[in-house]
């Protein structure tokens, strides 16, 4: 794991944007794994800005989102499709036919839909860079605690904590879905690079467990310890429970020298 501790959320967003831009520029047909939630919003803002300044083209980019609510219309204001359109897709030159989310209607078999999504990712050549946030309970995507570390795209019932955490995004009498389709932990681990963003004190305990706790289904993000190229971009608040902060800062300074000479990716 490469742990990068930055001053604030703004720096986390612009750090993440640099990695994303680099993948898009380096690959002929870049495949991005995308996340929703409040954390990546400022990353998407930065990417839109790069695009508007003529510095970044999404022409050849394919995207796969981590998750989508079960049985939700794409046009629903609460769908992750709507979130992605509002925050990224509608503002850049991406071919929206090449933007995928793991959808599943009531009349569709979630197992079939899950397998089909895995197939689509494979056919696109796999994910080059997967963006992740982290839930306060350590979830990634909607892989709630106790999710199998070998899981693939499937339907999940959300925990009370996640429903509570996300309820702020729903109006008082708006229906809040309780199930979602999500890439599995093994799906996420298949990405060539994963980049997890976390900001704020409410993520500090989950971040500590992810980085220094045991690899356990109780903290799905801890599975990233098994990933060859995991980049963890966090602000000081999210890093506040880590006792190894000084070492991480030092190691990162050393890494930066290597990055400056050889670039961010292999
Ligand atoms: C949501 C999403 C995750 C996201 C997490 C944290 O439930 N399914 O992909 O990382 O919760 O969200 P936020 O960034 O708003 O804290």
The predicted-structure confidence for 123-180, as pLDDT tens digits, reads as follows 999 999 999 999 999 999 999 999 999 999 999 999 998 999 899 999 989 999 999 9
0.85 exceeded by the pTM?
A: yes
Strands 193-198 and 230-235: parallel
- Establish whether residue 220 lines the binding site of ligand 1, counting it when its CB lies within 6 angstroms of any ligand atom: no
Here the CATH number for the domain that contains residue 29 is: 3.40.50.1360
**Paired tokens of 207:** 């971040």
Q: For residue 226, what are the domain limits?
A: 2-262
Integer Cα distance of 182 and 148 in angstroms: 13
Q: What are the beta bridge partners of residue 179? A: 157
| Best probe residue, ligand 1, of 134, 199, 204, 234 (max atoms within 8 Å of C-beta) | 134
* Residues forming beta bridges with residue 235, ordered by sequence position: 6
Residue 202 catalytic?
Answer: no
pLDDT tens for 76-128 read: 999 999 999 999 999 999 999 999 999 999 999 999 999 999 999 999 999 99
pLDDT tier for residue 266 given thresholds of 50, 70 and 90: confident
Q: Are residues 65 and 36 in contact, defined by beta-carbon separation less than 8 angstroms?
A: yes
Q: Residue 204 belongs to what H/E stretch?
A: helix 204-212
Q: Which one is catalytic: 65, 67, 166, 235?
A: 67
Number of compact structural domains in the chain: 1
């Amino acid at each position: 794991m490469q742990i990068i501790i930055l001053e604030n959320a703004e720096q986390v967003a612009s750090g993440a944007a640099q990695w994303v831009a680099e993948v898009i520029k380096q690959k002929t047909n870049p495949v991005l794994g995308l996340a929703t939630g409040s954390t990546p919003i400022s990353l998407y803002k930065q990417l839109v800005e790069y695009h508007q300044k003529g510095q970044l083209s999404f022409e050849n980019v394919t995207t796969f989102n981590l998750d989508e609510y079960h049985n939700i219309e794409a046009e629903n204001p609460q769908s992750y499709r709507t979130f992605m359109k509002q925050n990224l897709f509608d503002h850049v030159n991406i071919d929206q036919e090449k933007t995928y989310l793991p959808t599943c209607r009531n009349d569709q078999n979630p197992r079939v839909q899950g397998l089909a999504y895995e197939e689509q990712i494979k056919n696109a050549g796999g994910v080059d860079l997967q963006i992740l946030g982290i839930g306060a309970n350590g979830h990634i995507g909607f892989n709630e605690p106790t999710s199998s570390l070998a899981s693939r795209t499937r339907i999940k019932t959300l925990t009370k904590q996640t429903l509570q955490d996300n309820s702020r995004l729903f109006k008082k009498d708006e229906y809040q879905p309780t199930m979602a389709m999500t890439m599995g932990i093994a799906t996420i681990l298949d990405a060539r690079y994963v980049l997890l963003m976390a900001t704020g004190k409410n993520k500090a305990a989950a971040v500590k467990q992810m980085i220094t706790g045991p690899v356990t289904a109780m903290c799905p993000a801890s599975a990233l310890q098994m990933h060859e190229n995991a980049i963890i971009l966090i602000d000081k608040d999210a890093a506040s429970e880590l006792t190894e902060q000084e070492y991480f800062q030092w190691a990162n300074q050393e890494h930066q020298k290597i990055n400056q000479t050889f670039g961010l990716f292999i």
